[in-house]
Structure 1
Amino acid sequence: MSMLLRFFLMPPVSWRLRRRYLGYRGQGASRSASWLMSAMVILCWMFLRLESASWRRVRYRRRLWFPHISPERPRLMDGLRYLLQGIWLMVVMSGRRREKWLTPPAFIIRGRRYYYQWLHMLPRRLSNAGLGQETVQRLGHLNRGLRRVMLYSLSLVAAVTTLFCISQPFSLWAQFVFVLLLWCIAMVVRRIPGRLPALMLIILSLTISCRYMWWRYTSTLNWDDPVSLACGLLLLMAETYSCLVLVLGYFQTIWPLHRKPVAMPPDVASWPTVDILIPTFNEDLAVVKPTLYAALGIDWPHKKLAIYLLDDGNRPEFKAFAAEIGIHYIAPPPHKYAKAGNVNYALARSRGEFVAIFDCDHVPTRSFLQVSLGWFFKDRQLGMLQTPHHFFSPDPFERNLGRFRRAPNEGSLFYGLVQDGNDLWDAAFFCGSCAVMRRSALEEIGGLAVETVTEDAHTSLRLHRHGYSSAYIRIPQAAGLATESLSAHIRQRIRWARGMVQIFRLDNPLLGKGLKLPQRLCYANAMLHFLSGVPRLIFLTAPLAFLLLHAYIIFAPAIAILLYVLPHMVHASLTNSRVQGKYRYSFWSEIYETVLAWHIAMPSTMALLNPHSGKFNVTAKGGLIEKPYIDWALTRPYRILMFLNLCGFIAGLFRLGYGDVNEIMTVFISLAWTLYNMMILGGAIAVAFEARQLRQAHRVEIDMPAALMVGDGHIYTCTLHDYSDSGVGVQLSYAEDIAVGDRVTLFLRRGQQEYTFPCDITRVYHDRLGMKLGPLSTRQHVEFIQCTFARADTWALWQDGFPEDKPIHSLRDVIALGFSGYQQMAEYAPPFFRRLFFGLTAVVTWFISLMPRGVAAAPAAHLNDETAS
């Protein structure tokens, strides 16, 4: 030790050590970390051949291999970070170019290469091994009765085999082998493109989940302890509900139809008359104007189109505006039955063969009628055709979490996949807006349903009961405003939950005449979905039964719980990731459902007991949030649940040290469950931190060629960067002659036509200009909306721009979101709790900093300026 100390004190070494130490301190590193890193560098130069070519490449690419370690500002334990990252790189690193020290053994490389080649060829081999075209043709010529017998026989064999797999009791070792085999099959199948592999994943998931439920019902209830039995039955009912919804969800989305538009007849004289109904109640006129302007510009024969503004608020300014732009104005006197009564009143005073309904904030594209009405000529029994609800403003989840246009929103799953899956079973239902209905069908069922607060779904249910079909085209043909706050979003979902449960009680789709079995199942699943509040609350508190009450909610050995529960969860996650990956990322459903669970649990339960309770409420749109705040009233139930889970976690830690040794594994499982619940609750709290929303007219990003003409007649080419109904933003390379306050003329092109709009410059920032639209005539307003919001291709690619789901990445994002929720909440806590939380945060952050990081494949030649001398 004394010799090593004397070496460090030698003049050349001590001088370099001091220089390095001062350099670290100058970058803000602590004294201990600076001294330790300086000494570690000297030791590395003493005992490692850092001057060799291999080590030189590692030193030059240090930022690439160790992205989470700063070479200029070291921290304590950086030595351990280097060690862990180096081990991780040697074990799992894969890339086209490798350093010698990162290269795994040759047999691993060959095995990986053969494995990926086999996966690449597997789809072709499966298709070659299947029934050939001649065999299919021979089967097609068989007697229909014989083919039916063959189908029933194969189905019976499959059912018996599945029942055997589900109900056969296995030893723990046999269960492990079984789930391992199915997991290996799933990991192979999920890499194969196409719809059939997705069906295979569904079959594997159903097999595992049904086996799990069989085990739960037959082997996991403690009948000798009343507390354990009561808690176990509650959890079992919640799991039964979740499994039922999972099965029905697979059924709904097993094969999305992807219906394409049908061209209209070439003879325009044969096109039908259409009434466009736009109901409004308490919205601002600024919110309604873009929708009316867009309706005026819809591509349809002018004499066959009538536009009606249905003002349930009976406001003079709305009546005056309708007269100004030349549309019909209807104000129902009784103000009864909310939106449904408003529309029904207008139906009695209009005469179009078809009726298109838009919420007052949904701006239709000019192609809406031509895209949707073609199917009514092809299918004379078609009563309703629905298109997606698309939103150009962020909903509370997207705005408060900063995920707008970075990931699918809450409604993407329904409008992107579920409705498309319903369409296969002729069960697509009316969603209140962006839809066309045949007037004769509406009159036959007595107009929109008024018995429940979800008149839309109830109306389509009645259409199906009367023998009419429905259709869904998954091409956005209108866009509107999302709810502006989490409280408004929750109120909207409460109304939906209450209304769907009311339909379940008053007009149960599983009972009565007129529906086919698939339609009954699709409607039932849509209504059962809104009963998720109570099961979700049970899942958020279930581990506390064991940790606080010592109740065995799953009366089985810990290893058996792992062998049955984990495969059920993993297969469901893998399958949903494959089926829903473009429309909802893994684990985000946990956040959405947790945010709503407490608030919809009571209304949905009360509607189940008393279906006539509740009233219609209008969803507020177009509001402003001038400064960020947290909605403490909404987070109160989450904070209570969080506190209970924290108490359970502390009790679990105590039992690890002082509890029964035989229960250690069960305690670990319960602690992991509690930690997961706490992360989900943290994410629910993070959503309640309302971000600012200062624009009432939301800007829509776009990349479209445009031009500007300044006062002297000079024209600049530019790119339209964003727009709203009151202004635009452009980008141009040369703007020295343009200043704030200048009046310019904006040129926009639609098809082969060019339109001009007066604008005032309000902001100049480098190559970006912000402009406010000048006074426009009604014709110019219509033309501007047609060039922007109402373009036929404006919204078509929004949904397709999201990457595929990666479950591990999604889990990491959800955990980070939960952690951020606690951080934000701590900022508002009393000083003692704030210091305590930030201390715990520092510990967790330190622990996370030790974790290895993923790196990109090494580039062919990448040298940074850093030298490790």
Structure 2
Amino acid sequence: MFGWLSLFFQPVFMNQFRKQLYFYTQDKDPSYISQFILSLWFVVCFCFLKPKIVGVYSWKLPYYWYPHIDFSQFKFFDPCRMLIQTLWIICIVQPKKLTEDISFSQGISIVWQQIGRIFYLPFKWLSTLISWLEGRSSYYSIDSSKNNNMKRSLLSQFANIAIGTVIFFLAVLCFTIPFGLEAQAFFIVTLWSIAMMFRRMPGRFPTILLITFSVTMSFRYIWWRYTSSLNWDDPLALFLGCILLMAETYAWIVLILGYFQNIWPLNRQPVSLPTEQSTWPTIDMMIPTYNEDLDVVKATVYSALGIDWPKDKLNIFILDDGKRDSFKEFAEEIGVGYIRRPTNEHAKAGNINYALKQTSSEYVAIFDCDHIPTRAFFQMTMGWFLHDKKLGLIQTPHHFFSPDPFERNLSNFGDVPNEGCLFYGLIQDGNDLWDASFFCGSCAILRREPLEKVGGIAVETVTEDAHTSLRIHRLGYRSAYLRKPLSAGLATETLSAHIGQRIRWARGMAQIFRVDNPLFGKGLRWQQRLCYVNAMLHFLSGIPRIIFLLAPLVFLLLHTYIIYAPALAIILYVLPHMAHASMTNSRMQGEYRYSFWGEVYETVLSWYIARPTTVALFAPHKGTFNVTAKGGLIEDTHYDWMISKPYWLLIFLNVLGIGFGLYRLSWGPDDEVGSVIVNLLWVFYNLLILGGAIAVAEEAKQVRKNHRVVVNIPMSIHLPSGHKVRCEIKDFSLGGLRIELPRPVELFYGHTLNLILQRGDHHFVFPAKVTYSRGQSLGVQLESFTRQQNIDYVQCTFARADVWTKSQISYQSDKPLKSMLSVFKVGIRGYKNAIAYGPKWIKGIAKLIIILSKFLLTFKPVDVNIQSAKLCG
């Protein structure tokens, strides 16, 4: 049959192909199939391709149009590849080339002309209104008599009320007035264009403008969801749609409260202390401990001994709930207080409350046993207490010199802000404006008087710190937040420990919301109530996050419309809400939280905090305090399959949804194609976020017991030859240092030398031995120290007043698209690593999927070099 058809076409067309055909088939006699397909290509070019676009004779050169096909040896699926490529050339390449007749500048000019016509009348009316208002204001400003001043004052008050009322009703109209799809699209383009113009401008006004636009689009979205997108005819769709709507309402409330909370960070600065030290107050510094190693506690105590505060006004106590004699001996050896209580009720809160009864200083400073304070801690913070007699507490950031599990397992320590950066960098500073910054359990000072008035540290919930500050605020005392890293500690070592810590925080915040809700009760201003409520709502994100991960599957698997609206309407309402929220948060949070990374953090925690927060809301007194482990080691890199089980279940369901989606896309009703595509895109996004979650479950190897701190500190070394060399410390730990020399020095492994470090006007000498010497880089290990040398070394390194300020990482501003790409790369890496650690049958399935994917990619259309085709033709 093919031979007959080729003979039929050959007299008409094949004479023009013969020479070139032999060139493409490498001088081999072309088969009948090749002759037929190439002849058919000639017919397609003649009928569908314009000579203006492809050249008059370029139809004779199929090689340039099909570079991925070998015409000398046709493969079984090559006709399909040719068909797809031909359709792509006809439908995509040709129309694209035809539109090139209109230049880009001409197209922009046409667009601006249309925009100008649309906006001319509104701008003209607005200009007239402003001129009239200016005229009226100048008219009232002419009269200078007292009576007229009184009238003017009354008129201005009336005018303010009237303007506020008008703005309120205009806002309600803007939020609620129904738009057609065309009007909604125009509204979106207008606000987005203005937002894009202002988003890079400095100052607070652009931020407030972006917040206004985001609030507008979010209000319009949530109003549309409540009024126009519920399926009242299908009980199942209505029920599931209401569940999704509740999750969206939660996210919307948190978004609006976040804007309020962070609209104007206070950025409080230290207040100087009186020059007369006799007026400085007394402080009890408490270091609670339970099951931590003594080595972890030693550094904190050594540093506390060197704090710049009168020795007779500072009392240091180790609060040992573990009842260990080694801790008692250590306290006696170095001369600090030691308190051991007979019972262990109420965990850390009970430990501190017992110590409060044994002490009497005016102020109480609390440090977790792994948080090392700098020598300037009290001098930077105590001035505010003397300045403001109603100040009940002052909190400083929890700065960590070791990477948390996200940073270590994803290898982005120092490149991406960690999970706590947003809270300690922006949220607490925003709270401070509204007098709502709260106690975080460590690195804080509390005035004893209000602390005793509220009965000590709260014991009713497992987040005793936030609950205590809430009670202090109810008494009318104020709080302060000083955003300066004046101490540093160890981050959680493993993902399981990190999740355990967050479970405790989430449970505790839900308990406070239930037993001492800040929305009710006396003593709080409305701004404080909103800030506290937002902090508690944040930890209720587990169930809403899981709902968002499962929502598109309701349509794909059950064929149920939980958002009962056309796909285009969904796009025109959902995307603007998400885009403006992302842009605004990127501007406000860009130095503390990169876009899309919050999705990964919340996804990792969502499954594990959903249950305890729900239980705490209904049974607030259930649950126990768990101590976060610090200072552990991870002997080998491994994958935590246990902790990642929930993520894999969600991945399986989403992959199943893709399969059903492709089925509906191919064989479902034509009017559902848009809805299927929207839900498939949602599923693909969820899968990439889940990929980031499973990437974190790969525990990276951690065998270094002493974490390194990167710095630039001048020092000197005494060489074995007797020479003294000035150099710099590049990083240090409790076990050793890395030093950069001004020039290479001949040193070998095991050589002993003396390190000379400076603290103020004093110099201290520490013995060390060489571990490596490479050029100007020198690594040394510290030798055995005396007790005093240990104290001096910590105070020369960890306790330096400037060490954490200098080592604090300054992140670049967020770039949402770049951040999204990095999250997607992490997601892909997560799947690859999980497969590498998985059993053989998973590796086999993955290999099969890769082979199938590579095969399907061979059908992808490829770019064509049109200019080469024209020249050769």
Deviation at 1:751? 4.0
Determine if the alignment matches structure 1 residue 232 to structure 2 residue 241. Answer: yes
Given candidates 239, 254, 259, the residue that maps to 1:245 is 254
- 1:599 paired residue number: 608
Residues in 1 aligned to 2:861 and 2:214: alpha-carbon distance in whole angstroms: 32
- 1:542 paired residue number: 551
Residues in 2 aligned to 1:702 and 1:843: alpha-carbon distance in whole angstroms: 50
Residues in 1 aligned to 2:581 and 2:331: alpha-carbon distance in whole angstroms: 52
Residues in 2 aligned to 1:412 and 1:146: alpha-carbon distance in whole angstroms: 48
Residues in 2 aligned to 1:798 and 1:213: alpha-carbon distance in whole angstroms: 44
- 1:208 paired residue number: 217
- Per the normalisation by structure 2, the TM-score is 0.82
The SS at the match of 2:445 is: strand
The SS at the match of 2:726 is: strand
- 2:127 paired residue number: none
Residues in 2 aligned to 1:347 and 1:756: alpha-carbon distance in whole angstroms: 39
- 2:664 paired residue number: 655
- 1:438 paired residue number: 447
- 2:820 paired residue number: 811
Specify whether residues 735 and 236 from structure 1 end up closer, same or farther in structure 2 by C-alpha distance, changes over 3 A only. same
Deviation sequence 1:615-668 (CA, Å, 0-9, x none): 100000000001011111111111111000111110000011110110000000
Q: Which amino acid aligns with 1:216?
A: R
Determine if the alignment matches structure 1 residue 614 to structure 2 residue 644. Answer: no
Specify whether residues 807 and 851 from structure 1 end up closer, same or farther in structure 2 by C-alpha distance, changes over 3 A only. farther
- 1:739 paired residue number: 748
| 1:324-723 matches, cutoff 5 A | 324-723=333-732
Residues in 1 aligned to 2:399 and 2:529: alpha-carbon distance in whole angstroms: 27
Mind listing any 5+ residue stretches in structure 2 that lack a counterpart?
Answer: 1-16, 27-57, 62-80, 112-130, 863-873
Residues in 2 aligned to 1:182 and 1:264: alpha-carbon distance in whole angstroms: 50
The SS at the match of 2:539 is: helix
Deviation at 1:704? 2.2
Q: Which amino acid aligns with 1:350?
A: T
Tell me, yes or no, if the aligned pair for 2:745 and 2:776 is still in contact at 8 Å.
Answer: no
Determine if the alignment matches structure 1 residue 762 to structure 2 residue 768. Answer: no
Tell me, yes or no, if the aligned pair for 1:718 and 1:732 is still in contact at 8 Å.
Answer: yes
Specify whether residues 105 and 642 from structure 1 end up closer, same or farther in structure 2 by C-alpha distance, changes over 3 A only. closer
Specify whether residues 847 and 6 from structure 1 end up closer, same or farther in structure 2 by C-alpha distance, changes over 3 A only. closer
Deviation at 1:735? 4.5
Specify whether residues 290 and 233 from structure 1 end up closer, same or farther in structure 2 by C-alpha distance, changes over 3 A only. same
Q: Which moved more, 1:155-164 or 1:212-221?
A: 155-164
Tell me, yes or no, if the aligned pair for 2:284 and 2:365 is still in contact at 8 Å.
Answer: yes
Tell me, yes or no, if the aligned pair for 1:638 and 1:685 is still in contact at 8 Å.
Answer: yes
Q: Which amino acid aligns with 2:297?
A: V
Residues in 2 aligned to 1:828 and 1:345: alpha-carbon distance in whole angstroms: 49
Deviation at 1:346? 0.9
Q: Which amino acid aligns with 2:461?
A: T
The SS at the match of 2:805 is: coil
Specify whether residues 244 and 364 from structure 1 end up closer, same or farther in structure 2 by C-alpha distance, changes over 3 A only. same
Given candidates 789, 792, 804, the residue that maps to 1:780 is 789
| 1:790-809 matches, cutoff 5 A | 790-798=799-807, 801-809=810-818
Determine if the alignment matches structure 1 residue 307 to structure 2 residue 316. Answer: yes
Q: Which moved more, 1:211-220 or 1:697-706?
A: 697-706
Residues in 1 aligned to 2:798 and 2:207: alpha-carbon distance in whole angstroms: 36
The SS at the match of 1:553 is: coil
Specify whether residues 790 and 228 from structure 1 end up closer, same or farther in structure 2 by C-alpha distance, changes over 3 A only. same
Q: Which amino acid aligns with 1:181?
A: T
The SS at the match of 1:795 is: helix
Residues in 2 aligned to 1:787 and 1:110: alpha-carbon distance in whole angstroms: 65
Tell me, yes or no, if the aligned pair for 2:344 and 2:351 is still in contact at 8 Å.
Answer: yes
Specify whether residues 227 and 676 from structure 1 end up closer, same or farther in structure 2 by C-alpha distance, changes over 3 A only. same
Deviation sequence 1:244-280 (CA, Å, 0-9, x none): 1111111110110001111111111111111111000
Tell me, yes or no, if the aligned pair for 2:639 and 2:837 is still in contact at 8 Å.
Answer: no
Deviation at 1:609? 0.5
Tell me, yes or no, if the aligned pair for 2:254 and 2:537 is still in contact at 8 Å.
Answer: yes
The SS at the match of 1:583 is: coil
Residues in 2 aligned to 1:684 and 1:708: alpha-carbon distance in whole angstroms: 46
Q: Which amino acid aligns with 1:373?
A: M
Deviation at 1:749? 2.7
Determine if the alignment matches structure 1 residue 256 to structure 2 residue 256. Answer: no
Residues in 2 aligned to 1:497 and 1:582: alpha-carbon distance in whole angstroms: 25
Residues in 1 aligned to 2:349 and 2:367: alpha-carbon distance in whole angstroms: 13
Residues in 2 aligned to 1:322 and 1:415: alpha-carbon distance in whole angstroms: 32
Residues in 1 aligned to 2:540 and 2:357: alpha-carbon distance in whole angstroms: 36
Residues in 1 aligned to 2:308 and 2:622: alpha-carbon distance in whole angstroms: 43
Specify whether residues 9 and 530 from structure 1 end up closer, same or farther in structure 2 by C-alpha distance, changes over 3 A only. closer
Given candidates 716, 732, 738, the residue that maps to 1:729 is 738
- 2:74 paired residue number: none
Deviation at 1:332? 1.2
Deviation at 1:840? 3.9
Q: Which amino acid aligns with 1:251?
A: F
Residues in 1 aligned to 2:163 and 2:734: alpha-carbon distance in whole angstroms: 60
Residues in 1 aligned to 2:506 and 2:861: alpha-carbon distance in whole angstroms: 43
Q: Which amino acid aligns with 2:659?
A: I
Deviation at 1:516? 0.4
Q: Which amino acid aligns with 1:222?
A: N
Residues in 2 aligned to 1:538 and 1:106: alpha-carbon distance in whole angstroms: 46
Tell me, yes or no, if the aligned pair for 1:235 and 1:539 is still in contact at 8 Å.
Answer: yes
Specify whether residues 354 and 584 from structure 1 end up closer, same or farther in structure 2 by C-alpha distance, changes over 3 A only. same
The SS at the match of 2:711 is: strand
- 2:44 paired residue number: none
The SS at the match of 2:368 is: coil
Residues in 2 aligned to 1:275 and 1:146: alpha-carbon distance in whole angstroms: 57
Deviation at 1:726? 1.9
Q: Which amino acid aligns with 2:202?
A: P
- Per the normalisation by structure 1, the TM-score is 0.82
Deviation sequence 1:510-557 (CA, Å, 0-9, x none): 000000000011101111111110010100000010000011010011
Residues in 2 aligned to 1:851 and 1:476: alpha-carbon distance in whole angstroms: 55
Residues in 2 aligned to 1:207 and 1:366: alpha-carbon distance in whole angstroms: 48
- 1:186 paired residue number: 195
Q: Which has the larger radius of gyration?
A: 2
Residues in 1 aligned to 2:757 and 2:591: alpha-carbon distance in whole angstroms: 33
- 2:758 paired residue number: 749
Mind listing any 5+ residue stretches in structure 1 that lack a counterpart?
Answer: 11-43, 48-75, 92-100, 113-128, 853-869
The SS at the match of 2:729 is: strand
Determine if the alignment matches structure 1 residue 171 to structure 2 residue 176. Answer: no
Specify whether residues 374 and 154 from structure 1 end up closer, same or farther in structure 2 by C-alpha distance, changes over 3 A only. farther
Residues in 1 aligned to 2:651 and 2:474: alpha-carbon distance in whole angstroms: 46
Deviation at 1:179? 1.2
Tell me, yes or no, if the aligned pair for 1:408 and 1:799 is still in contact at 8 Å.
Answer: no
Q: Which amino acid aligns with 1:311?
A: D
- 2:4 paired residue number: none
The SS at the match of 2:244 is: helix
Specify whether residues 839 and 294 from structure 1 end up closer, same or farther in structure 2 by C-alpha distance, changes over 3 A only. same
Residues in 1 aligned to 2:424 and 2:554: alpha-carbon distance in whole angstroms: 38
Determine if the alignment matches structure 1 residue 270 to structure 2 residue 272. Answer: no
Deviation sequence 1:47-94 (CA, Å, 0-9, x none): 9xxxxxxxxxxxxxxxxxxxxxxxxxxxx99xx9xx99xx99xx9xxx
RMSD: 3.3
Deviation at 1:440? 1.1
